[in-house]
Structure 1
């Protein structure tokens, strides 16, 4: 049985000369922050990332349309953003890293501000530093100062991952020949989320955003997460649990072993990236998850044991962890092919990529 810790950092994909062979952040020059003033043409509050399309006059008075990338909707919502923060026609000031190509109208966003609105940051640390420096009030709806009480029991509360995310398939997975061939052809543009397809567990449990664990009733635990199309259901009484058709999310039953929640999931279908980034899972997948509290209720630990002869040569164990965060409503936002295209390419054309890329249809 092979064990993998998600805490191990993995280097990102190499960036191609000229055009990124990675998603849009890779095209930005962090050493070239710029401030632009213009008018909002579009505000895309969508998944995977939020974008502002802004008409910016250049030094000759000609209008250049800039595409400005921010973060995902739940991350921004914690900083006070909403679907109504900006509207077409709003005058706006933007600050952020410019594209590596100085002639390309593409930027990442540090902050944006309309004429009569607060300065809206895309990064929590930058927001906190600004508030401390200026004494300004946090944006309405933000939870930067929210109290985070410990979890006294489990399941309960909201949690976000504390491990470094993988940017490519981990090197030490116990793959069979099918798995090795699949991973050898990996490219980030293959991410099923770019086509609004949500993989099942365990991959679904290792994503960013906030997870909420709660009792629905005496026989049912609900696991929900920002942006999921529906919550995950864990049946705690197998005798009374309803039957269901096989699916990417499978059929989950649970039990407690002392203070550890154990979830066993079967009845899967073939699932893209259903095990780990770049690694599919088959209908033969069998998953056992274990969850327990540590650090006086402020940390949640997890262990996933995956058996899948379709892609693995032996069972694989993945360790994961989450930190307690403030309670708030689960956030939903539309998944958009347009936003996915921008996220993958930073606006580059398909033939400008160093590696073959199949872009989602807009």
Structure 2
């Protein structure tokens, strides 16, 4: 390992256009379409949420060494593609390819197509030959399992929403917000580099967190529910007693009023802080309200499925309701969250 650390790495650059269709959701805004290749010695591999990152010491042809950050998707999809905390080790000489930062910072975005293709390689520092490709065997444990039996209701007749719900069904395409002139003007000024979740590791807020495509753990109790999210690490405690708010304070997750309606759980939230709702911006004001409706939509092909329909109303920024949905499959195995340890982006010249 010490020999690897003393090894001088070669820095490669190559430009090409890549398809936006395969881009990571933040790529068009935070990274460019220009692809570069780098080789460097790994100093850290952080297999964490909201994004995995690999720190590389890269030495160019002049002998100058720069610390680069290779950043990728969240831990859940990386797990599905077979990656673990041991896939990359400090001291290894690795070649990566991806998109470079808009700011000129020493950062590289790696995306799903390249991650799964085996394009990234570990190199022998003695002669530059390929030791192995970083192409892992897919982990199907998060895939829908039609043979899994999960009761539709609890013993008291309430819908059974408890358990770990995964993102194995993929993302549901969402309609754009119906902005009014004020909301549209704010959206036109949006720059993802100024997104607090990216630039400051700020909390995601209700809509962004609730609409995450990553795993969600729900625990149902007689008088309250607990929602725990993997990607952002948030926990919501939602009372079922219809209590009124203790004050008029607005917060990231607001004031919840929840109830069961037939086969559904309905959560109405007010007193929310104005927040961006995703990597594309789509800001909401502090006058916004949110209604979440959760119900089971099982099928013979997919097994136990949880569906969320989320509706936003915002008289300041929207002309009418904005509806979004997702579906998640029930975990067939003992799934544990990967920790959240958000890392700030590197600055230009870092």
TM-score normalised by length of structure 1 = 0.65
Structure 1 residue 314: deviation in Å?
2.2
Q: Structure 1 residues 252, 105: closer, same or farther in 2, change over 3 A?
A: closer
For structure 1, which runs of at least 5 residues remain unmatched after alignment? 1-10, 129-137, 342-346, 351-361
Structure 1 residue 259: deviation in Å?
1.0
- Aligned pairs for 1:250-289 (under 5 A) are 250-269=254-273, 271-274=274-277, 277-289=280-292
- Aligned pairs for 1:84-233 (under 5 A) are 86-88=88-90, 90-94=91-95, 96-97=96-97, 106=108, 108=110, 110=115, 111=120, 121=135, 127-128=137-138, 143=141, 149-153=148-152, 154-157=160-163, 158-160=165-167, 162-164=170-172, 171=176, 173-194=177-198, 195-215=200-220, 217-233=221-237
Structure 1 residue 164: deviation in Å?
4.6
For structure 2, which runs of at least 5 residues remain unmatched after alignment? 1-18, 125-130, 153-159
Determine if the alignment matches structure 1 residue 307 to structure 2 residue 310: no
Contact residue 53 and residue 72 of structure 2 kept, 8 A: yes
- Residue among 318, 323, 342 paired with 1:317: 323
| Structure 1 counterpart SS, 2:283 | strand
Separation (CA, whole Å) in 1 of partners of 2:38 and 2:32? 18
Q: Structure 1 residues 55, 229: closer, same or farther in 2, change over 3 A?
A: closer
Q: Structure 1 residues 67, 204: closer, same or farther in 2, change over 3 A?
A: closer
| Structure 2 counterpart SS, 1:281 | coil
What CA RMSD, in Å, does the superposition of the two structures yield over aligned residues? 4.2
| Structure 2 counterpart SS, 1:209 | coil
Contact residue 64 and residue 105 of structure 1 kept, 8 A: no
* Greater Cα offset, 69-78 or 199-208: 69-78
Q: Structure 1 residues 107, 183: closer, same or farther in 2, change over 3 A?
A: closer
Choose between structure 1 and 2 for higher RCO, CA contacts under 8 A separated by at least 6 residues: 1
Structure 1 residue 224: deviation in Å?
1.0
May I ask how many residue pairs the two structures share in their alignment? 294
- Residue among 28, 31, 42 paired with 1:24: 31
Contact residue 200 and residue 250 of structure 1 kept, 8 A: no
Q: Structure 1 residues 55, 301: closer, same or farther in 2, change over 3 A?
A: same
Q: Structure 1 residues 27, 150: closer, same or farther in 2, change over 3 A?
A: farther
Contact residue 51 and residue 75 of structure 2 kept, 8 A: yes
Contact residue 275 and residue 281 of structure 1 kept, 8 A: no
Structure 1 residue 263: deviation in Å?
0.9
| Structure 1 counterpart SS, 2:77 | helix
Separation (CA, whole Å) in 2 of partners of 1:12 and 1:284? 34
Which residue is equivalent to 2:43? 41
